[in-house]
Structure 1
Amino acid sequence: SLCSLLCFCLGWYTVNSAYGDTIIMPCRLDVPQNLMFGKWKYEKPDGSPVFIAFRSSTKKSVQYDDVPEYKDRLSLSENYTLSISNARISDEKRFVCMLVTEDNVFEAPTIVKVFKQPSKPEIVSKALFLETEQLKKLGDCISEDSYPDGNITWYRNGKVLHPLEGAVVIIFKKEMDPVTQLYTMTSTLEYKTTKADIQMPFTCSVTYYGPSGQKTVHSEQAVFDIYYPTEQVTIQVLPPKTAIKEGDNITLKCLGNGNPPPEEFLFYLPGQPEGIRSSNTYTLTDVRRNATGDYKCSLIDKKSTIASAAITVHYLDLSLNPSGEVTRQIGDALPVSCTISASRNATVVWMKDNIRLRSSPSFSSLHYQDAGNYVCETALQEVEGLKKRESLTLIVEGKPQIKMTKKTDPSGLSKTIICHVEGFPKPAIQWTITGSGSVINQTEESPYINGRYYSKIIISPEENVTLTCTAENQLERTVNSLNVSANENREKVNDQAKLIVGIVVGLLLAALVAGVVYWLYMKKSKTASKHVNKDLGNMEENKKLEENNHKTEA
């Protein structure tokens, strides 16, 4: 400090002490042999002395003068070192050590300097927000209880802020407590912010002198909300769909890039020059195709700041002609058309009875198999959920038509008569037999498919008969007959009987012949048996004669 430098230049001895510590001042004099006593005094601003401590070299006693500010704070050692406890700012004085002999007085002055570290600086009275293009108080940086006073510096993002006309204004002031003589420093910063200050930290520091030299203490960071006007607006369509279709609800949302963002906007609908004032959203419900167009929104106070969005409301119409339940006669022509009207190309699929057709149906001459349930279905692939379908239930009617066929069994004993019927609604079949004959099998019907089915009976006529097949539906009654001859059947039966009689007669003759042969055989067997027995008797007699002859010879 300037005082320390001056003291050094003048050769004065200086003791630096921290506020509240103990000040220790050596006497800095060699004690003479004939010393009588030593004293300490300090000098008032006007130069008059105030004695505060006395020590006798002979009696070894210590006395402290009645000085109120040093009561119970002094201590004088045997080597005449003076200690002052609880250092105060008022202790900054010129103290003098005096050693007195009978014939001389020796003095050694000491300058006492007391330092008090200030409190950590703090940014207070902070602005709730800063606004671009406006010079506004940012806050106060305060540091308290400093001695000597210090200097306050402001920083933006770690760099020193210097005063700049119209942009940076720094007002510094200091106050001293009359009792403690400690200083409070306050620095007020007025600042014109820009968008570059968003999330930018501001700090301040206090620089002060301490016993060991100059020091600096920094405050905590402060970040301010920066207000700036909206320069651009954007419009959004919610929910964010790839495509909008008729019946959807859509919400337009307008946003401004200012801080704070604007809360109200003007919304412009297609073909409407006047804006609709609303909050930052505007909802359209159950939109139709005529809602297609450009939608805009702008700031209320600055209509030139505007944004737009093009919205296409997709639609899909399907017209099937004819549709519903349609009844036509067999052989009729029936033109069918499925007309599509859509906001973009649509796919068309034809189905008949839930089976996909390769092409659209076309009927120049209706058949029974053409009847069924037809569906024309279309969809926009890019638009989810946009599908349409119409149906046609085609009924093909026809009067009954009959065709009769005859089939003879290979045995010739029976004949199968079939009545083929075609018509819709399904005709009922009734059989009538004229003449005698037995029905071997009751009528048997085939499944009714594509307007056709048949009924058949199996008969074995004993004489010529006529079979009549009657088919009837709601449109008409149709009759057809078939004559069935019995001649062919009788001849075959007679031929069979003759064949059976021939077989029977043949079997009887064969049995008679077999009987005669057996009788002759048995008779012959008996005659042969007698001859055999006779021959066997002669053989026995000859054998006995031979044996006797042998015995005689012997």
Structure 2
Amino acid sequence: MLLHPPPASLTHTFTHTSDGPPLYRSTSMDARLSASLLAGLVFLLHGYTAWAVVEVSMEDRVEVYKGDTAQITCMFTSDEGIGGLIIQWFYVLRTGEKKNIYYQDATMQVVERNTQFTDRIMVNVTAATGEVVLTIANVQLIDQLEFICLIKSLTDGVSEGRTKLLVFEKPDFPTIEGVQTGVLADEDTLSKIGSCEVKNGFPKPNITWYRNNAPLRVSDVVSVVASTTIESSGLFSVRSELNLKVMKEDKDARFYCEVTYLVPGGTRMTETNHISITVYYPSTAVHVWVESPKGKIKEGDSIIFNCHGNGNMASSVSIKHGTTEYNVESNMLVLENVTRLQSGDYECISTDVNTFEELSGNTTVFVNYLDPVVVLPSYVEMAQGEEWTATCNALSSLQTHTAWFKDGQEVSTGHILMLTDVTFDTAGTYKCVVSVPEIDGMEKMATLQVHVKGAPEIMKPEHTDIEESVSSTVDLTCHVRGFPAPSVIWTTADGKILETTSQTEMDDSVHSIVSVEVTSDLTAFCNASNEYGADALAYKIKAIKAATAIPPEKIRKEGNGVIIVVIIICILLLAILGSVLYFLYKKGKICGRSGKQDLTKEKSSKDNIVVEMKSDTEDAVLLGVNGEKLPSSNQ
């Protein structure tokens, strides 16, 4: 049986050596070698009667990214050794035609010229494991074909296996774009929502639309239009457009696209950003309310009204109160410094600018009030010891509280103020404050002026006896209470009137000041009088000469120190005097009644004797150390 020669199209051959790359030969040399081998093989196989069994197994598919290297493995078993087999690789065109890309037998390994794989393939054969591996470098999209591994024995035993090479390219990150204009709700036709696009994937990616995490399926209210573009690179770009019958609820919906694509060994998914759309829908109701102030309203407040429909279509808004109609800007109306006359119903009217359909809503406002406070009487003149009653009232829409204050202190509560057994201390201004506890800051007030009639009463100062240096000036003050306001005159003891330096007069008191120059002792009088009587206050001023004008405080402070110094000086003088006397005694300068005596002749024990001189008798008496008299024998 003849061995089939290699196809005529195999024009370049190479053989493997154990230690180097394939060795290339010329075509004429190959022809002579082939002829010799064929003759020998025919002789050796003459009489061989059994067929060799060959089995081939391959994977259904091999998956690889574009640009990577693919390895297609062909596993075989055979009764013959590797030297008795022919190995061929083919690929199948999309038309079904097979194209040879590789041939190998016992003598040569040949790669077919002028194919898309010529410069990118390599075949490795491992006889021990029965494995033939076709390696394709830099896989391209056009390489996604079916490959055939054919193994043939010399006795015409033959088997083949097929593997599909699948090529993948991960697409770019998808993009989404929503409509820029608003969409009308409840329209009869579908409205465009947006479009998604994913580019440069292989195989073709798929796009699925989602609304609020739920996939959208094509129906009467959902339409998805997809288009596919094959780029010059052979990659796929897919664009999908969503059209939807928009409802009012879609104003809060979130739309996005999910892109799924194939990769070697599985499927992957990625999502676009989420978008929302502007949905326009007409109002079906209008609501109006008081935004500020919260709670009860009082006169003088500013009221802010808000008026809104439950739609978002363009509309004009106005608010009516009785016969008064207010223009509203930005759905808001502000009424400042309101009065009770602005209580009542307020109607908000919303008019659709397209259909001119009107909708309205109402709210009621009550403005609380507090009338001015009335105090009766507001002015009182009364004599000391009398009684009087005053009233305070104010009309209000709410419950009120009344309190009376004098000099900032609360003196009574309730509408009635009773004044009994009045004195000058009772006189003054009383403030009646009426407030509404339910509303903070809602209060009004009025005053009651009380005057207590009586003779002047001079407030006695702490000191009225004053010592001042001559030629100095002293300020004397006189504060007098009484009503009517008394007149004040300053005089001296000899009846001279002093000119007032300053004087402050009020309805029921006078505060007067006079400046007096001190030249000598002086008594000054503050004389106050009105129609009810008089009162006087005397200031006694003692003039102190400048040389001796030592303030009593200074004398008291320095007196103790001066006394101590004087005592010390006296002690020192006495000590000196004693020393002098003793010295004179020792020198015999001091004589007794009988004339000069020599005191130095006495024994040493008499050194402690002092002399006592008596002027009336001129007798000298010697005293001992303890002051005892010595006997006459010792004199």
Q: TM-score range by the shorter chain?
A: 0.5 to 0.7
Cα shift at 1:153: 2.7
Q: Residue in 2 aligned with 1:474?
A: 531
Q: Give yes or no for contact 2:63–2:264 (8 Å, CA) kept in 1.
A: yes
CA distance in 2, matches of 1:184, 1:399: 113
Alpha-carbon separation, structure 2, partners of 1:258 and 1:46: 62
Q: Are 2:207 and 1:152 aligned?
A: yes
Whether 1:292 and 2:292 are equivalent positions in the alignment is no
Change (3 A) 1:205 1:120: farther
Which residue of the partner structure matches residue 86 of structure 1? 138
What pairs up with 1:373-412 in 2 under 5 angstroms?
Answer: 373-395=429-451
Which of 112, 121, 136 is the equivalent residue of 1:65? 112
3-state SS, counterpart of residue 290 of structure 1: helix
TM superposition shift of 1:113: 3.5
Residue 126 (structure 1) aligned with residue 178 (structure 2)? yes
Question: Is the Cα contact below 8 Å between 2:209 and 2:255 reproduced in 1?
Answer: yes
The whole-number CA distance in structure 1 between the counterparts of 2:529 and 2:85 is 164
Amino acid in the other structure paired with 2:103: F
Distance 1:65-1:391 versus aligned 2 partners, 3 A rule: same
> What residue identity is the alignment partner of 2:341?
N
Query: 1:237 aligned to 281, 285, 290, which one?
Result: 290
CA spacing shift, 1:177–1:12, aligned 2, 3 Å: farther
Q: Which SS does the other structure have where 1:222 is aligned?
A: coil
Residue of structure 1 equivalent to 2:468: none
Match of 1:277 in 2: 328
- 1:185 counterpart letter in structure 2: V
Alpha carbons of structure 1 residues 174 and 316: separation in structure 2 relative to 1, 3 Å: same
What residue is the counterpart of 1:345 in the other structure?
A: 399
Amino acid at match of 2:217: H
Structure 1 residue 296: Cα displacement = 3.9
Residue 249 of structure 1 corresponds to 302
Post-superposition offset of 1:169? 0.9
Counterpart of 2:207 in structure 1: which amino acid? I
Out of 366-375 and 88-97, give the one that drifted further.
Answer: 366-375
Provide the C-alpha distance between the structure 2 equivalents of 1:106 and 1:43, rounded to a whole number of angstroms.
Answer: 19
- What amino acid does structure 2 have at the position aligned with 1:389? M
Question: What TM-score results when the alignment is normalised by the length of structure 2?
Answer: 0.51
How many pairs are equivalent? 395
335 and 27 in structure 1: CA distance in 2 versus 1, 3 angstrom threshold: closer
Q: Please report how far the alpha carbon of residue 103 of structure 1 lies from its aligned counterpart in structure 2 after TM superposition.
A: 7.5
Q: Among the aligned pairs, what percent are the same residue?
A: 24
Counterpart-to-counterpart distance in 2, 1:300 and 1:37? 91
Alpha-carbon distance in structure 2 between the residues aligned to 1:399 and 1:36:
152
SS in 2 for 1:26: strand
Shift of 1:53: 2.2
Letter in structure 1 aligned against 2:329: S
Partner of 1:162: 217
| Cα distance change on mapping 1:269 and 1:350 into 2, 3 Å | farther
- 2:238 matched residue in structure 1: 185
The aligned residue for residue 53 of structure 1 is 102
* Structure-2 change in CA distance of 1:393 and 1:157 (3 Å): closer
Superposition map of 1:486-501 within 5 A: none
Q: Does 1:19 align with 2:74?
A: no
* Secondary structure in 1 matching 2:178: coil
Residues 152 and 375 (structure 1), Cα distance of their counterparts in 2 relative to 1, 3 Å cut: closer
8 A Cα contact 2:320 2:326, kept in partner: yes
Q: In structure 1, the residue corresponding to 2:238 is in which secondary structure?
A: strand
Counterpart Cα distance in 1 of 2:422 and 2:99 = 141
Per-residue deviation, 1:168 = 1.0
Matched residue SS, 2:395: strand
Q: Distance in 1 between matches of 2:210 and 2:268?
A: 13
The structure-2 alpha-carbon separation of the partners of 1:71 and 1:228, relative to structure 1 and needing over 3 Å to count, comes to same
How far the C-alpha of 1:116 sits from its partner, in A, is 1.7
1:110 and 2:157 are equivalent in the alignment: no
Whole-Å separation in 1 of the counterparts to 2:486 and 2:95 = 147
Task: State how far apart, in whole Å, the 1-side matches of 2:384 and 2:59 are.
Answer: 136
Stretch moving more, 386-395 or 42-51: 42-51
Residues 288-326 of structure 1: CA deviation (Å, up to 9, x unaligned): 232223334343425414242424142332223442x45
Q: State yes or no: 1:142 paired with 2:190.
A: no
User: 1:389: Cα distance to partner?
Assistant: 1.9
SS of corresponding position for 2:373: strand
- For each residue in 1:335-365, what CA deviation from the matched residue of structure 2 results, as whole angstroms up to 9, or x when unmatched? 85544222223233345675226762579x9
Distance in 2 of aligned mates of 1:15 and 1:257 = 61
Of stretches 300-309 and 350-359 in structure 1, the one that deviates more from structure 2 is 350-359
Letter in 1 for 2:218: P
Aligned-partner Cα distance in 1 for 2:270–2:193: 17
CA distance in 2, matches of 1:475, 1:69: 138
Contact map agreement 1:207 1:216 (CA 8 A) in 2: yes
Deviations 1:371-420 (A, max 9, x none): 654443311121222222222223465899xxxxxxxxxxxxxxxxxxxx
- CA offsets, 1:119-177, max 9 Å, x none? 37635123356653354333333344444435433333443321121x21111222223
Contact 1:329–1:366 (8 Å) recurs in 2: no
Q: Distance in 1 between matches of 2:148 and 2:123?
A: 13
- Distance in 2 separating the partners of 1:319 and 1:12: 113
State yes or no: 1:318 paired with 2:370.
no
Contact 2:370 2:444 in 1 (8 A): no
Q: Is the 8 A contact 1:317 1:388 kept in 2?
A: yes
Structure 1, unpaired ranges of 5+? 1-10, 401-422, 429-450, 452-470, 478-554
What amino acid sits opposite 1:90 in the alignment?
Answer: I
Deviations 1:411-435 (A, max 9, x none): xxxxxxxxxxxx964999xxxxxxx
Contact 1:53 1:62 in 2 (8 A): yes
- Kindly state the Cα deviation for residue 82 of structure 1 after the two structures are TM-superposed: 2.4
Counterpart-to-counterpart distance in 2, 1:228 and 1:72 = 63
Cα 1:292/1:102, change in 2 over 3 Å = closer
Provide the C-alpha distance between the structure 2 equivalents of 1:176 and 1:204, rounded to a whole number of angstroms.
Answer: 21
Structure 1 residues 83 and 359: CA distance shift in structure 2, 3 A: closer
Query: Could you tell me whether the CA contact under 8 Å between 1:122 and 1:141 is conserved in 2?
Result: yes
Change (3 A) 1:63 1:85: same
Q: 2: distance between equivalents of 1:212 and 1:476?
A: 123
Instruction: For 2:296, give the aligned amino acid.
Output: A
How far 1:84 sits from its partner (Å)?
1.8
Check conservation: 1:244, 1:312, Cα contact below 8 A: yes
Rounded to whole Å, the distance in 2 between the matches of 1:382 and 1:36 is 111
TM superposition shift of 1:75: 0.6
User: Is the CA contact 1:140–1:187 (under 8 Å) kept in the aligned structure 2?
Assistant: yes
Gaps of 5+ in 2: 1-56, 127-131, 457-481, 488-507, 509-527, 535-635
2: distance between equivalents of 1:387 and 1:361? 19
Give, as a single letter, the amino acid of the residue that structure 1 aligns with 2:244. Y
CA distance in 2: counterparts of 1:473 and 1:322, whole angstroms: 26
